[in-house]
């Protein structure tokens, strides 16, 4: 189909705008990367723009010398794995019955669950409940209050309804299979892609969350990585605003900047490296959710 002149011009325009947007998104990430491996004083002077200057890994050295951070990393790993395992089990346990037309009461159960998306008791009653249950400062506070997400239940239920052939399940029932057996032997083996999506959604959520740790944990030895990151990245900034003229302090301020850049890279590198390969799963999750929001 031949294109008109205006259409070609519009096409070029779109390419230019999209390229600009892409650059705008990419450059800050790229800058953090090159800043993290440049000498801190070159970054502070504003000499680093396109390439790293005077290669230096002082930020990384300082970062890895910090034993608390390692502790935080291990805690996060623990919260992420156990939390995700619980999340996925609960999501299946919620979504499979709700996907079945012959599950009596599914209308009411769905309403009970969906209502919580739109109304909540708020931060304080939740906090008091967790406190009452004796979960403060334990791993339970990190994983149980967020045991399942309503949105993910809906995505999963939609998948079960639309992508698992009903005939296969019915045939198995006629052969005398129980509900659990059908779920285990027929439904779940056909749900590989959506399970991957769920694992990814939940795992990223746990990895990145700091809010429940902020309100439920006070013992530093339980802190997840994000809380230590908050100290480095966000609270470190406050000291910088203080006027300092001492020389050695200036030095440590520069190192502090280098540590910040390194911290961003270290905590996100695994994700950013894996992400292009996982992208299609994430996107699939959003798309399934979009079918019936």
Partner 1 sequence: MMQVRKNWQLYVLFAPVLIYFIVFHYVPMYGVQIAFKDFMANKGIMGSPWAGFKHFERFFDSFYFWRIIKNTMGIGLYELAVGFPIPIILALMINEARSGRFRRFVQTVTYAPHFLSTVVVVGMIMMFLSPVSGLVNFIITSFGGEPIAFMTEPSWFKSIYVWSGVWQGMGWSSIIYLAALAGIDPQLHEAAKVDGAGWLRRIWHINLPGIAPTMTILLILNIGSVLGVGFEKIFLMQNPLNMEASDVIATNVYRSGILGAQYSFSAAVGLFNSIVNFIMLITVNRIARKVSENSLW
- Looking at residues 135 to 154 of the shown chain, list those that interact with partner 1 (rule: CB under 8 A): 144-145, 147-148
Least Cα distance to 192 among 166, 163, 165, 172 occurs for: 163
CB of 185 to partner 1, least distance (A): 14
CB of 53 to partner 1, least distance (A): 14
Site string for partner 1, 70-109 (x = CB under 8 A): --------------------x--xx-xxx-x-xxx----x
Q: Which of 60, 160, 202, 207 binds partner 1 (CB under 8 A)?
A: 207
Q: Which stretch binds partner 1 (CB under 8 A): 54-62, 156-164, 190-198, 233-241?
A: 233-241
How far apart CA 116 and CA 146 sit, in angstroms, is 13
Cα 213 to Cα 11, 99, 131, 226, distances in angstroms: 48, 34, 13, 9
Least Cα distance to 129 among 121, 138, 119 occurs for: 121
Identity of the residue, 192 or 276, whose beta carbon is nearer to partner 1 in the bound complex = 276
Helix (H) and strand (E) counts for the chain?
15, 0
Does 271 sit near partner 1 (CB under 8 A)? yes
Helix (H) or strand (E) holding 289: helix 247-291
Task: Tell me the HSE value of 84 on the side-chain side, using a 13 A CA sphere.
Answer: 20
In this structure, the dihedral spanned by the alpha carbons of residues 202, 205, 210 and 211, taken in order and rounded to 10 degrees, is -80
Q: Which of 1, 55, 174, 242 binds partner 1 (CB under 8 A)?
A: 1
Residues between 110 and 139 that touch partner 1 (CB under 8 A):
112-113, 116, 118-129
How far apart CA 203 and CA 208 sit, in angstroms, is 9
Task: Tell me the HSE value of 181 on the side-chain side, using a 13 A CA sphere.
Answer: 10
Identity of the residue, 4 or 248, whose beta carbon is nearer to partner 1 in the bound complex = 4
Identity of the residue, 145 or 193, whose beta carbon is nearer to partner 1 in the bound complex = 145
Instruction: Locate 127 and state its tokens.
Output: 């906090």
Identity of the residue, 57 or 210, whose beta carbon is nearer to partner 1 in the bound complex = 210
Does 270 sit near partner 1 (CB under 8 A)? no
How far apart CA 168 and CA 157 sit, in angstroms, is 17
Task: Tell me the HSE value of 251 on the side-chain side, using a 13 A CA sphere.
Answer: 4
Does 249 sit near partner 1 (CB under 8 A)? no
Q: Which stretch binds partner 1 (CB under 8 A): 64-72, 77-85, 161-169, 236-244?
A: 236-244
Identity of the residue, 64 or 275, whose beta carbon is nearer to partner 1 in the bound complex = 275
Residues between 7 and 66 that touch partner 1 (CB under 8 A):
7, 10-11, 14-15, 17-18, 21-22, 24-26, 28-29, 31-32, 43-44, 46
């Amino acid at each position: 189909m031949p294109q008109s002149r205006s259409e070609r011009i519009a096409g070029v325009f779109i390419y230019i705008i999209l390229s600009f947007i892409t650059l705008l998104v990419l450059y800050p990430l790229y800058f953090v990367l090159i800043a993290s491996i440049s000498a801190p004083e070159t970054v502070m002077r504003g000499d680093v723009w396109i390439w790293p200057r005077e290669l230096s890994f002082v930020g990384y050295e300082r970062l890895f010398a910090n034993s608390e951070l390692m502790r935080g990393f291990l805690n996060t790993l623990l919260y992420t794995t156990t939390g995700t395992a619980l999340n996925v089990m609960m999501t299946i346990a919620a979504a499979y019955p709700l996907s079945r037309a012959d599950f009596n009461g599914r209308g009411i159960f769905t309403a009970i669950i969906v209502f919580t998306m739109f109304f909540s008791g708020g931060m304080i009653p939740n906090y008091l409940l967790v406190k009452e249950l004796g979960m403060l400062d334990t791993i339970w506070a990190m994983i149980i209050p967020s045991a399942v997400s309503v949105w993910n239940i809906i995505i999963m239920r939609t998948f079960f309804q639309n992508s698992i052939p009903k005939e296969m399940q019915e045939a198995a029932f006629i052969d005398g299979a129980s509900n659990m057996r059908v779920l285990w032997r027929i439904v779940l083996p056909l749900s590989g892609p959506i399970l991957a999506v769920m694992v990814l959604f939940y795992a990223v959520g746990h990895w990145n969350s700091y809010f429940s740790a902020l309100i439920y944990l006070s013992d530093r030895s339980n802190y997840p990585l994000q809380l230590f990151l908050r100290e480095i990245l966000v609270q470190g900034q406050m000291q910088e605003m203080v006027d300092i003229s001492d020389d050695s302090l200036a030095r440590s301020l520069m190192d502090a900047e280098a540590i910040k850049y390194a911290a961003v890279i270290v905590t996100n590198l695994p994700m950013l490296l894996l992400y292009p390969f996982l992208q299609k799963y994430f996107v699939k999750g959003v798309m399934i959710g979009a079918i019936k929001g």
